[in-house]
Every structure is written in structure tokens, then in C-alpha cells.
């Protein structure tokens, strides 16, 4: 069965490519697993809460309408990273056979009432997930279906599974302006190969190049984006991992790296009736 649907999740399986599948939880439209030829490409905490009571620790959480925590404005009373990952999305159906593609939708009626009250705007989100032979393509369409303008940020908070954090580098970020949340500083990235040897929490702004993740000198993921100009790189390392109850195993930081495509360094304003679209395509190279 190319598309299997349960009460809580949807699984796409490529009939002609053994072991190539993607599983999406309806809660948050959170991709939980992406396997290529039997090899898992995403990191999911073994302590992840999947019952809809909390954001999922791992896979690809979807951040909307705010990245992080705003200190002012209509999103300032929303939880960190907004409500999209805290809401149950609707499966709208299969929309293509090759690549094997399904679409999910979210509107005001789908989000928890308490959060709807905090952000009372009319909107529609359409989230499309396409499984290729060795690619995972996601597309987010944001629509203002109301009569007043509102602003948003969005990001795909992808937890990549990596062999060894000590052997990983990220390329494509040279000379990019950085907002570093660990050192609380701003600077231009001077390294051609960004390595991870402590807690990293950086927003790379306006990244023009394709970004790749390499392990032991070999590219393992290539990330291409449209309309997602920023890239967040996050690894919680030892202490922050310990401080997250759902981050398991505690040394899981050694085999994960978040490289997150987003539009977060500025706010995008949506006029009534306006539609906005962004895509991310991840290619597994090994």
C-alpha cells in the first residue's frame, strides 16, 4: 500500500524502492521517520511524546507562525515555535503518484481553542510531503483567508540523523551573517566547514548557497530551499540535552544535528487574500 492511513498517522511507501518510506504524525503534521533503502535519515528521541500532548522531539517539527518566542506582537503569547506543531492537521489526500505525495491542511478550527484566542486570525496552511527515490520534498503554502493583515515566521525544524557529531560538518554557510544564541553575538561565519564541538544555536541569515551536511568528508544530505532564506543550526550538546526531559538518550546529541530551513530573520506580512509558498528538498546522498 503506497499510502497507509491510521487515526494518528500516515505512511508513504515507495513500491519500487524497498525500504523507502516516510511516516507523518497528524499531530503537528510532524514527519517522524524518513527511510531510504532501509536507512533512517531522521533523528527521533526515544523519549518523544507522540500522543498529541506536546511537540514532538525529533523528525521534522513545523514551526508557525513564530520562530522561538516573540517578546511583542500578536504571537508573543503563543508557545515557543507557535501552534502548528501543537495542532492536529487534516489529511487532505494523495495528490501525486510520482513522487508519492500527500497533502495536509490546518485552519483555525484545527488549533487548540486557547491558542486560537491568542492568535485570532483567519489562515489556511497546506503542507505537502513528497517521497522520491532518495529525496524528501516538503512544501508549505500559507494563505490569509481573513480580512486583516498578519505577520508570520516559519521553519522546518529538521532533526537529521548523523553517524557522529565529531565527524560532521555543514557547508554552504561561509561569510553568512549569524545571530548566535549561545554566545549572544552576531558575526559573519568565517569557516567554510562548520563543525560542532559544543552547544550550537545559530540563525544563519539569507543563505544563498545550497547547504550540505557531510560526515567524515563525505556529503550525506543536500538541502535546497525556495523562500526559506535562513538556516538554523542547532545541537544541544551535553547540558541542554540533559535539561530536556524528552531528549533521549541523553547522549543523543552525538548522532543528531538540526539544520533547519526557515524564514525567521524577518516577519512576512500577509495581506488579506494573499498566498505565500516555500519548499525544502532534502536529498540523501549515502
Catalytic residue among 157, 189, 205, 280: 157
Helix (H, G, I), strand (E, B) or coil at 84: helix
Under DSSP, is residue 165 helix (H, G, I), strand (E, B) or coil?
helix
Min. distance of Cβ 244 from ligand TA6 in angstroms? 6
Contacts to ligand TA6 from residues 31-60, by CB under 6 A: 55
Query: Whose Cβ is closer to ligand TA6: residue 220's or residue 258's?
Result: 258
Active site (annotated) includes residue 250: no
**Number of residues forming the site for ligand TA6 (CB under 6 A):** 11
Element (H, E) at 237: helix 237-242
Measured from the CB atom, is 63 or 222 closer to ligand TA6? 63
Pick from 8, 46, 76, 80 the residue near ligand TA6 by CB under 6 A.
80
- Write down the residue that cell numbers 483555525 correspond to: 108
Q: List the one residue from 83, 221, 234, 253 that touches ligand TA6 (CB under 6 A).
A: 234
For the stretch 139-142, contacts whose Cβ atoms lie closer than 8 Å and that sit 24 or more positions apart, written own/partner, are 139/277, 139/278, 139/279, 140/62, 140/64, 140/277, 140/278, 140/279, 141/275, 141/276, 141/277, 142/64, 142/268, 142/270, 142/275, 142/276, 142/277
In the complex with ligand TA6, which residue's Cβ is closer, 125 or 257?
257
Position with the least CB separation from ligand TA6: 234
- Whether 279 and 227 have beta carbons less than 8 Å apart is answered as yes
- Candidates 260, 274, 277, 280; catalytic one: 260
Q: How far is the CB of 157 from ligand TA6 (least distance, A)?
A: 6
Contact flag: residue 81 with ligand TA6 (CB under 6 A): yes
CB nearer to ligand TA6: pick between 101 and 189: 189
Residue 260 binds ligand TA6, judged by CB under 6 A: yes
Element (DSSP H or E) covering residue 221: strand 218-226
Binding-site member from 32, 152, 200, 201 for ligand TA6 (CB under 6 A): 201
Q: For residue 150, what are the CA distances in angstroms to 7, 142, 146?
A: 33, 11, 9
104 forms part of the interface with ligand TA6 (CB under 6 A)? no
Residue 84 sits in the site that holds ligand TA6 (CB under 6 A):
no
Query: Torsion angle, CA of 241/243/245/249, rounded to 10 degrees?
Result: 30
Q: Between 147 and 197, whose beta carbon lies closer to ligand TA6?
A: 197
Calculate ∠ Cα 78-84-89, nearest 5°.
140
Task: Please state the closest distance from residue 242 (CB atom) to ligand TA6, in A.
Answer: 13
Q: In what order do the strands lie in the sheet with 30-36?
A: 3-5, 9-13, 21-25, 30-36, 39-40
**Is 260 marked active-site?**
yes
Question: Rule CB under 6 A: is residue 160 a binding residue for ligand TA6?
Answer: no
Please choose, from the candidates 280, 25, 252, 270, the residue with its C-alpha nearest in 3D space to the C-alpha of residue 156: 280
Residue numbers of the site for ligand TA6 (CB under 6 A)? 55, 68, 80-81, 157, 181, 201, 232, 234, 258, 260
Catalytic residues: 157, 260
Amino acid at each position: 500500500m503506497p499510502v497507509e492511513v491510521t487515526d494518528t498517522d500516515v505512511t508513504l511507501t515507495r513500491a519500487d524502492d524497498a525500504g523507502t518510506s516516510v511516516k507523518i504524525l497528524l499531530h503537528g503534521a510532524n514527519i517522524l521517520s524518513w527511510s531510504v533503502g532501509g536507512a533512517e535519515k531522521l533523528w527521533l528521541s526515544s523519549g518523544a511524546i507522540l500522543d498529541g500532548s506536546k511537540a514532538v522531539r525529533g523528525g521534522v517539527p513545523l514551526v508557525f507562525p513564530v520562530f522561538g518566542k516573540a517578546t511583542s506582537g500578536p504571537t508573543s503569547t503563543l508557545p515557543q515555535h507557535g501552534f502548528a506543531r501543537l495542532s492536529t492537521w487534516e489529511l487532505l489526500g494523495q495528490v501525486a503518484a510520482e513522487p508519492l505525495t500527500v497533502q495536509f491542511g490546518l485552519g483555525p478550527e484545527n488549533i487548540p481553542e486557547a491558542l486560537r484566542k491568542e492568535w485570532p486570525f483567519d489562515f489556511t496552511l497546506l503542507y505537502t510531503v513528497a517521497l522520491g527515490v532518495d529525496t524528501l520534498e516538503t512544501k508549505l503554502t500559507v494563505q490569509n483567508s481573513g480580512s486583516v493583515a498578519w505577520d508570520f515566521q516559519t521553519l522546518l525544524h529538521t532533526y537529521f540523523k548523523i553517524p557522529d557529531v565529531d565527524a560532521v560538518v555543514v557547508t554552504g554557510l561561509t561569510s553568512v551573517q549569524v545571530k548566535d544564541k549561545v554566545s549572544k553575538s552576531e558575526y559573519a561565519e568565517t569557516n567554510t566547514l562548520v563543525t560542532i564541538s559544543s552547544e550550537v544555536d545559530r540563525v544563519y541569515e539569507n543563505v544563498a548557497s545550497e547547504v550540505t551536511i557531510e560526515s567524515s568528508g563525505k556529503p550525506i544530505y543536500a538541502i535546497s530551499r525556495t523562500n526559506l532564506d535562513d538556516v538554523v543550526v542547532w545541537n544541544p550538546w551535553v547540558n541542554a540535552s540533559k535539561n530536556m526531559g524528552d531528549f533521549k538518550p541523553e547522549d543523543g546529541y552525538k548522532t543528531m544535528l538540526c539544520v533547519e530551513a526557515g524564514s525567521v530573520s524577518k516577519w512576512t506580512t500577509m495581506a488579506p487574500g494573499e498566498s505565500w509558498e516555500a519548499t525544502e528538498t532534502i536529498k540523501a546522498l549515502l
